[in-house]
């Protein structure tokens, strides 16, 4: 399956570090990503960082030195569907405006004929300067899209306009740009066509989403955890927000940044803390609950003050564990209303569909998303994944192996379609 190809061009500003996060988000959203950097940008972030993130060599010069090939400024321009300049410094914007091509980024901008998205980042005085504003207007007149800049802390120590937009906001603009490309097959878009937006099914609905792992404390430095990154839950929350829902996210310990537009975010550590947060969220009222978190089944019976010394273990170690609350079986039934729809997630490694169907029925869930992270085409984190959505009548939808952002849209779209079919089913 072909994904939208994004050429990320990084110019020399302190915000270059944010481009690393943007590259990861683009990949998680299903884009193919290649990177080009000005020489000044390499003083802030090394090319090998982007090579490790994207799996592609990074174009850094016009002379075929280092990682670059002599014709990268042509080949990368031919390869890309969209171009993203982040950060876009005043210097890079000026070069783009006047057709100057004296480094790899400015040359690529001159050679690239597709849609361009710029994320300006500079000192506030530089941003407000008439020359920069005139350049911005010229770029807009030529069809270049921009996102930001925003207000915030600048490298000079002031709080003002000029800060590069957050990677999540740039990603949203890139998704919109990719979605408007002409002549692409539906499976070439970085996410599934958001029919749930057009149908308005999720608009205004109050949705509680859980995401990520839970960590159960052993002592001052150790914990029991699992490999969940929260990527699926965060993708669902993001898609729900874009579909008009009011989203309350309860997230376990994860390095991922929550999507913008949440009405409430609770950061928790343990299963008991997640159970309390879910109970509170249900009491406040919600139309849908998505339990995508990977909640630990057990926790240490006693938490040790300080650090357990290796010498005291005498070559072996055993933990006395006790069961955690089963949130879906014990907490949700007490606090949900008859109108609350519940979607659970079943992580299984064998007899996946049967086990998931049994779990859905036993815990009185409306739907369950079955997945096997050890199967081919699946896995934890930002890799592609595949799931099966089950309802009371069996399989509702089975996905291909795609990015979790696409899975989120697929789940929401198929839930909306299934609910509408049920609502208007003449059989009652």
189-199 mean pLDDT: 47
Tens digits of per-residue pLDDT, 411-421? 999 999 999 87
With 50 as the cut, is the pLDDT of residue 425 above it? Answer: no
Say which range, 66-75, 94-103, 203-212, has the weakest mean pLDDT: 66-75
| Predicted pLDDT at 377 | 59
| Residue 316 or residue 225, greater confidence | 225
**DSSP H helical segments within 4-46, as ranges?**
16-28
Q: What's the maximum distance between 2 C-alpha atoms anywhere in the chain?
A: 73
306-322 mean pLDDT: 84
| Predicted pLDDT at 202 | 94
Q: Are 115 and 143 in contact (CB under 8 A)?
A: yes
| Predicted pLDDT at 191 | 38
Quickly state the pLDDT bin for 183 (edges 50, 70, 90): very low
DSSP type of residue 327? I
Angle at 395 between CA 375 and CA 403, to 5 degrees: 45
Question: Which pTM value belongs to this model?
Answer: 0.60
Q: Around Cβ 209, how many Cβ atoms within 10 Å?
A: 28
With 50 as the cut, is the pLDDT of residue 185 above it? Answer: no
With 80 as the cut, is the pLDDT of residue 181 above it? Answer: no
| Residue 352 or residue 315, greater confidence | 352
From CA 207, how far away is CA 241, in angstroms rounded?
10
304-326 mean pLDDT: 87
Say which range, 155-164, 181-190, 266-275, has the weakest mean pLDDT: 181-190
Domain 5-188 shares a fold with domain 195-309+318-423: yes
65-93 mean pLDDT: 77
| Predicted pLDDT at 70 | 45
The residues that are catalytic are 156
Q: Where are the domains of the chain?
A: 5-188, 195-309+318-423
Say which range, 138-142, 157-161, 173-177, 242-246, has the weakest mean pLDDT: 157-161
Q: Around Cβ 418, how many Cβ atoms within 10 Å?
A: 18
CATH architecture of 195-309+318-423: 3-Layer(aba) Sandwich (3.40)
Strand order in the sheet with 5-10: 32-37, 5-10, 82-88, 116-120, 145-146
3-state helix/strand/coil string of 174-233: HHHHHHCCCCCCHHHCCCCCCHHHHHCCCCCCEEEEEECECCEECCCCCEECCCCCCHHH
Tens digits of per-residue pLDDT, 324-350? 999 999 999 999 999 999 999 998 878
With 80 as the cut, is the pLDDT of residue 151 above it? Answer: no
- Look at residue 352 and give its three-state secondary structure: helix
* Cα dihedral: 344, 349, 353, 359 (round 10): -40
| Predicted pLDDT at 189 | 37
| Predicted pLDDT at 77 | 86
DSSP type of residue 318? -
- Look at residue 360 and give its three-state secondary structure: helix
210-237 mean pLDDT: 91
* Cα dihedral: 280, 283, 289, 295 (round 10): 30
With 80 as the cut, is the pLDDT of residue 207 above it? Answer: yes
74-91 mean pLDDT: 89
Quickly state the pLDDT bin for 226 (edges 50, 70, 90): confident
With 90 as the cut, is the pLDDT of residue 87 above it? Answer: yes
CATH architecture of 5-188: 3-Layer(aba) Sandwich (3.40)
| Residue 239 or residue 279, greater confidence | 279
Mean pLDDT of the chain: 84
| Predicted pLDDT at 152 | 60
List the one residue out of 90, 87, 177 whose CA is nearest residue 136. Answer: 90
Say which range, 55-59, 136-140, 191-195, 365-369, has the weakest mean pLDDT: 191-195
């Amino acid at each position: 399956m072909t994904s939208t190809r994004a050429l990320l061009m990084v110019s020399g500003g302190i915000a270059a570090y944010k481009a690393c996060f943007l590259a990861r988000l683009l990949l998680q959203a299903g884009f193919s990503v290649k990177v080009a950097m000005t020489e000044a940008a390499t003083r802030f972030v090394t090319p090998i960082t982007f090579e490790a993130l994207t799996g592609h060599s990074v174009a850094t010069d016009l002379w075929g030195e280092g990682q670059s090939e002599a014709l990268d400024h042509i080949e990368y321009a031919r390869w890309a569907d969209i171009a993203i300049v982040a950060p876009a410094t005043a210097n890079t914007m000026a070069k783009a405006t006047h057709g100057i091509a004296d480094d790899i980024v400015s040359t690529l901008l001159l050679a690239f004929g597709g849609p361009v998205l710029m994320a300006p980042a500079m000192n506030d005085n530089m941003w407000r300067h008439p020359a920069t504003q005139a350049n911005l207007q010229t770029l807009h007149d030529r069809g270049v899209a921009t996102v930001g800049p925003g207000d915030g802390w600048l490298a000079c120590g002031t709080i003002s306009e000029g800060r590069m937009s957050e990677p999540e906001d740039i990603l949203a603009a890139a998704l919109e740009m990719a979605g408007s490309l002409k002549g692409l097959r539906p499976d070439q878009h970085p996410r599934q066509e958001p029919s749930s937006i057009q149908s308005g099914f999720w608009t205004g609905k109050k949705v509680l989403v859980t995401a990520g792992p839970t960590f159960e404390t052993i002592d001052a430095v150790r914990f029991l955890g699992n490999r969940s990154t929260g990527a699926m839950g965060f993708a669902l929350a993001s898609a729900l927000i874009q579909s008009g829902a009011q989203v309350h996210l309860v997230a376990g310990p994860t390095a991922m940044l929550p999507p913008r537009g949440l009405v409430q975010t609770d950061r928790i550590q343990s299963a008991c803390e997640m159970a309390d947060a879910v109970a509170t969220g249900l009491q406040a009222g919600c139309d849908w609950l998505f339990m995508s978190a990977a909640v630990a089944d057990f926790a240490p019976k006693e938490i040790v003050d300080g650090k357990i010394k290796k010498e005291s273990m005498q070559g072996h170690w055993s933990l006395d564990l006790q069961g955690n609350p089963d949130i879906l079986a014990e907490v949700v039934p007490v606090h949900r209303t008859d109108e609350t729809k519940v979607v659970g997630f079943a992580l299984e490694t064998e007899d996946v569909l049967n086990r998931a169907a049994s779990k859905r029925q036993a815990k009185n869930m409306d739907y369950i998303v079955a997945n096997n992270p050890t199967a081919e085409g699946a896995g934890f984190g930002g890799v592609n994944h595949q799931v099966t959505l089950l309802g009371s009548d069996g399989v509702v939808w089975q996905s291909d192996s795609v990015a979790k952002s696409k899975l989120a849209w697929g789940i929401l779209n198929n839930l909306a379609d299934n609910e509408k079919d049920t609502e208007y089913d003449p059989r009652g």
